[in-house]
Amino acid sequence: MGSEIVNASVLEVPLWQRYADQFPVRENLIYLNHAAVAPLPRRCADALKHLHAAYSSRNDPEIAAHLGEVLWKVGQHDEAQKIWRAALNENPNHESLITVMEKYRP
């Protein structure tokens, strides 16, 4: 039984590589895990930079929800609401967006 445990722990291919095609943003996840140890203002600034770039290139309601949430956390409530409202106008039934907006309702 002990040898089964050793054999199971010595895999030819790391587990994350087996599923890499299902997680195309793994580089971002690695970055986010690394960024989690950074001070909060730097994490928010980094997140805002990446979320603004992502939202500029793809007007996606999920990105809008996250962008607005970070904006809210740094005190930019008006800007967060502006982004949420614009995204909601184009995607009135998007659950994640609605949930975030209700969470931060003034």
pLDDT at 88: 96
CA angle 74, 66, 32 (to 5 degrees): 85
- Predicted confidence (pLDDT) per residue in 59-75, tens digit: 899 999 999 999 998 89
pLDDT at 80: 96
Per DSSP (E only), the strands in the chain are: none
The pTM of the full predicted model, rounded to 2 decimals, is 0.62
- What are the structure tokens assigned to 30, written together? 């690695």
- Predicted confidence (pLDDT) per residue in 7-23, tens digit: 444 445 555 455 555 54
- Lowest-confidence pick of 13-22, 23-32, 97-106: 23-32
- For residue 41, how many other CB atoms are within 10 A of its CB? 9
